[in-house]
Amino acid sequence: MSDETGPALAALLAESSIRLAETASDKEDAIRQVGAALLEADAIDASYIDAMLERERSVSTFVGEGVAIPHGTLAGKDSVKNDALVVLRFPDGVDWDGNDVRVCVGIAARGNGHIALLSQLATVLLDPDRAAALRAATTSDEVYELLKPDPEDE
Amino acid sequence: MATIDGTSIKKLIVACDAGMGSSVMLASTLKKQLAKNGVTVEHSPVASIPSDADLVFSLAGLAERARHTVPDVPVVPFQLFLGDPAVAKIVKAIQNGESFEV
């Protein structure tokens, strides 16, 4: 991890939660892997994974630029133990209702600690060059560099 | 259909189910786009949209629930987080102080 990575970012997105060479057979498999990573990060109870799948059935979490942000429902919030994010990259892509997803940013949040990071993700996705860099990232340093919150954001 | 004066929008809510993911991302983008226009942008779960909101953007599948929460506030459904045409049109109207239809 690079020196300038803030403690807040590293606490929310652990280096062990950045997995950049995953493969998934389909969307549900990808979501279950994201859930497993959140479980390993001690962020959730296993029931949160069902809430993630339920949320995906009602409204897709595909946000564009080859990125999806799986997370649970409001009812699933009780299954969140600690706020955390995970980043899973699927270099071969995952068919997400006809969209080609390369990166999943999994979210477990009770509080608002993840907002600066999601805000930065929005900024990255609105910039085609940086969005492409995120889809192509092969090291955790690259991911930290892209998702480091902009100091101008609250 | 109702016509809304863009200058009357002071509090805009982006709603999704948990208020945890896509609504946060859209809200942060809109906050930057509308900062100069004195618009407060917040994100919220659909079940707890504040009643003093002037306008609500809601994920399309959740628009009915949003309308149920705040029957007196116009709710605009959106499909795409990046570059949704319905959102873009209204953002432009607010930036230009023009009226728009919902």
- Beta-carbon separation of A61 and B22 below 8 A: yes
**Is A24 a member of any domain?**
yes
Give pTM, 2 decimals: 0.85
In chain A, what are the helix, strand and coil shares in percent, each to the nearest 5? Answer: 45, 20, 35
Please classify residue B40 by burial: count the beta carbons closer than 10 Å to its beta carbon, then call 0-12 exposed, 13-18 middle and 19+ buried.
middle
Domain containing A119 equals 10-147
Give the list of residues 6+ apart from residue B81 with CB closer than 8 angstroms, or none: A63, A64, A122, A125, B22, B25, B26
HSE-up of A23 (CA within 13 Å, CB side)? 2
Give the model confidence (pLDDT) of A81-123 as tens digits.
999 999 999 999 999 999 999 999 999 998 878 888 888 898 8
Tally of domains within chain A = 1
- Asked, for residue A84, whether it belongs to a domain, the answer is yes
Residues ≥6 apart with Cβ < 8 Å to A43: A80, A81, A82, A83, A84, A108
* pLDDT of A153 over the 60 cut: no
Considering only the beta carbons, identify the residue of A58, A65, A69 that sits closest to B61. Answer: A58
Q: Which of A48, A29, A148 is nearest to A88 (CA)?
A: A29
Q: pLDDT tier at A143 (50, 70, 90 boundaries)?
A: very high
Please tell me the predicted confidence (pLDDT) of residue B81. 79
* Token pair of B43 as six digits: 């994100």
**Interface predicted TM-score (ipTM) of this complex, two decimals:** 0.75
Residue A48 lies in a domain: yes
| Nearest CB partner across the interface for A118, out of B25, B47, B83 | B25
Q: What pLDDT shows up at residue A151?
A: 67
What confidence score (pLDDT) does residue B2 get? 86
Q: Is residue A106 part of a domain?
A: yes
Nearest to A74 among B18, B26, B82 (CB): B18
Contact A122 B26 (CB under 8 A): yes
Fold adopted by B16-96:
Rossmann fold (3.40.50)
Residue A71 annotated among the catalytic residues of the structure:
yes
Write down the pLDDT at residue A3: 44
Nearest CA in chain B to A121: B25
Is residue A60 in a domain? Answer: yes
Chain mean pLDDT for chain A: 91
Instruction: Report yes or no on A3 lying in a domain.
Output: no
Q: Is the pLDDT of residue A32 over 70?
A: yes
**Which of the residues A38, A43, A61, A71 is marked catalytic?**
A71
The enclosing domain of A57 has a CATH number of 3.40.930.10
Least confident of A3-7, A31-35, A92-96: A3-7
Tens place of pLDDT for every residue, chain B, 102 residues? Answer: 789 999 999 999 999 877 677 788 889 899 999 999 999 999 988 999 999 999 999 988 889 999 999 999 999 999 887 788 999 999 999 999 999 998
- The Cα–Cα gap between A66 and B50 comes to 33
Name the pairing type of β-strands A84-96 and B3-5: unpaired
